[in-house]
Amino acid sequence: MFIRNLEGVRRFEMLIAEAKGSDIFARLARLEQSYRKTCPECGLEFWIDEKLVKTSIIDGSLLGYRCPQPGCKGIVKMEAAKK
pLDDT bin (cut points 50, 70, 90) of residue 51 is very high
Range 43-61 average pLDDT: 93
Range 23-43 average pLDDT: 86
Q: Where are the domains of the chain?
A: 5-81
The CA-based dihedral angle spanning residues 12, 18, 19, 22, taken in that order and rounded to the nearest 10 degrees: 180
State pLDDT tens for residues 4-26.
788 888 888 888 887 776 777 78
Can you tell me the distance from the alpha carbon of 43 to that of 3, in angstroms, rounded to the nearest whole number? 45
Query: 48, 37 in Cβ contact below 8 A?
Result: yes
Give the pLDDT of residue 17: 82
Q: Is the pTM of this model over 0.85?
A: no
Query: 46, 37 in Cβ contact below 8 A?
Result: yes
